[in-house]
Structure 1
Amino acid sequence: MPDDLLQYLIGPSPYSLRWLWLAVVLTLALIAWYIGVFAFTAPSRKLAEVPLVGAMRNELLKRRAVSAVRGIVRRYRAGDLDAPAAGAALSRELREFLHRLTGIRVRHMQLSDVAASDLSAAAPVLIDLNDVQFNARSTVDVGAVSESTEELIRTWT
């Protein structure tokens, strides 16, 4: 083989650094995804006490609950739900929100127990919702009590 052809021989080309950075970014994104799923779905109170994660989780829970309340009211105003069904749905949503945010099993509590607990601020709204749900001659307006429910959820600390 003549020496003048050796100048055209080269070794394998190295990998581009773009592939390394892409792998690093995708790995970090996967780790962040798992942390996010754990942080936003874990029912643990300990996780809610972590400053940044707890605040983000609480805001997300508030947004979801307010959105659900607005959806119930929209269905009520459209005629898809009658007053007792709307009251039941609003009560269920409020109790579920309080359970997720505080860890207290509000779904299974009587109103007197709610009034005597740390959740006493929610008792008047729950009383109105129960009146709408179970009293056929109730004078409580579903629109007004839904606004109270939404306000309670937005201002809950």
Structure 2
Amino acid sequence: MPGDLLRFVSGPTAYSSWWLWLAMVLLLLVIGWYAAVFVATLPNARIRALPALGDLHARLTRRRFAGSIRHITDRRRRGELSDAQAYDEMSHTVRSFLHQTTGVRAQYLHVDEIAAGTLAAAAPLIAALRDARFDTAADADPDRLGAQAEELIRSWT
């Protein structure tokens, strides 16, 4: 009996080589997972500074926010939102996009402050959305303003 135990512990074992490959693949998956979580939780400013990920992050951000504007426009067409609600959500989306892409806290700035700063290109659209939201006499077209918001987001550099 003791000899059998000794032979079992120290004897040659034949493992298939696919166990080694499986262990390496699992190890690479774990490393990849941790790297993805690390990058996904970085602040936007740090991601923008990374050479390869900065461009990818910018494209994905533009795509996500343009889709949000399109979704708002579609909801207004279906009657789920009033025009005023649509203008309000579009303005919030554009300001959030500007904050995500530039780091400037556009959600808290007045239109005049936006026009005087680095976000000046967005000021006319934000002013038009504000006027359409609060001035019932304004002749505003929600579809046109939605298209302008999408264009601003897609063309932002």
Q: TM-score range by the shorter chain?
A: 0.7 to 0.9
Superposed, which structure 2 residues align to 1:20-39 within 5 Å?
A: 20-39=20-39
State the Cα distance separating 1:67 from its structure 2 match.
Answer: 1.1
Superposed, which structure 2 residues align to 1:45-56 within 5 Å?
A: 45-56=45-56
Q: Aligned to 1:113, what secondary structure does the other structure show?
A: helix
Does residue 109 of structure 2 align to residue 109 of structure 1?
yes
Counterparts of 1:41 and 1:75 in 2: how far apart (Å)?
Answer: 31
Counterparts of 1:85 and 1:138 in 2: how far apart (Å)?
Answer: 15
Does residue 15 of structure 2 align to residue 15 of structure 1?
yes
Q: State the match for 1:137 in structure 2.
A: 137
Q: Aligned to 2:123, what secondary structure does the other structure show?
A: helix
State the Cα distance separating 1:42 from its structure 2 match.
Answer: 2.6
Letter of the 2:86 counterpart: A
State the Cα distance separating 1:105 from its structure 2 match.
Answer: 0.6
TM score, norm. by length of structure 2:
0.86
* 1:41–1:73 Cα change, 3 Å: farther
Q: State the match for 1:149 in structure 2.
A: 149
Counterparts of 1:84 and 1:41 in 2: how far apart (Å)?
Answer: 35
TM score, norm. by length of structure 1:
0.86
Letter of the 2:96 counterpart: E
Q: Aligned to 1:81, what secondary structure does the other structure show?
A: coil
Aligned residues of 1:43 and 1:100 also touching (Cα < 8 A): no
**Identity over aligned pairs, percent:** 39
1:108-140 deviation line (CA, Å, top 9, x unaligned): 011001001111111111011111211112211
Q: State the match for 1:73 in structure 2.
A: 73
For these two proteins, the number of residue pairs brought into alignment is 147
Give the superposed CA RMSD.
Answer: 1.6
Does residue 98 of structure 2 align to residue 98 of structure 1?
yes
List gaps (5 residues or longer) in structure 1. Answer: 1-10
Counterparts of 1:27 and 1:102 in 2: how far apart (Å)?
Answer: 37
Counterparts of 2:125 and 2:68 in 1: how far apart (Å)?
Answer: 16
Counterparts of 1:121 and 1:37 in 2: how far apart (Å)?
Answer: 34
* 1:76–1:62 Cα change, 3 Å: same
* 1:37–1:62 Cα change, 3 Å: farther
Letter of the 2:116 counterpart: A
Counterparts of 2:43 and 2:20 in 1: how far apart (Å)?
Answer: 37
